């Protein structure tokens, strides 16, 4: 399992990650927050690949 992280300095709050993995990412005050400890059964890699500013990383 991998742990998602968001670099809030880069995040522009576009909402793409939240729409892909709402159980992991939630937009609060214009930034994406990680609300789950782990990426389980969802598309976090797709969120990483889809983030327009490459703000998401997955730690193994
Ligand atoms: S996809 Fe990237 S820029 Fe958009 S809200 Fe998520 S972390 Fe922020």
pLDDT in tens, 31-56: 999 999 888 888 899 999 999 999 99
How far does residue 44's CA lie from ligand 1's centre (Å)?
A: 12
Q: What pTM was computed for the model? A: 0.93
What is the CATH T-level fold of the domain 3-59, as seen in this structure? Answer: Alpha-Beta Plaits (3.30.70)
- List the Cα angle 11/17/18 in 5-degree steps: 110
Which residue reads 């399992």 in tokens?
A: 1
- Asked if 28 contacts 21 with a C-beta cutoff of 8 angstroms, the reply is no
Tell which atom from ligand 1 comes closest to the C-alpha of 25.
Answer: 6
* Residues in Cβ contact with 8 at an 8 Å cutoff, skipping those fewer than 6 apart: 31, 32, 55
Mean pLDDT of the chain: 94
* CB-based pocket (< 6 A), ligand 1: 6, 11-17, 25, 27, 32, 51-53, 55-56
- List the Cα angle 43/23/55 in 5-degree steps: 60
How far does residue 37's CA lie from ligand 1's centre (Å)?
A: 18
């Amino acid at each position: 399992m991998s742990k998602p992280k968001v670099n809030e300095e880069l995040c522009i709050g576009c909402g793409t990650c939240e729409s892909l993995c709402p159980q992991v990412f939630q937009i609060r005050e214009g930034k994406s927050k990680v609300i789950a400890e782990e990426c389980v059964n969802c598309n976090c890699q797709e969120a990483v690949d889809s983030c327009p500013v490459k703000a998401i990383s997955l730690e193994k």
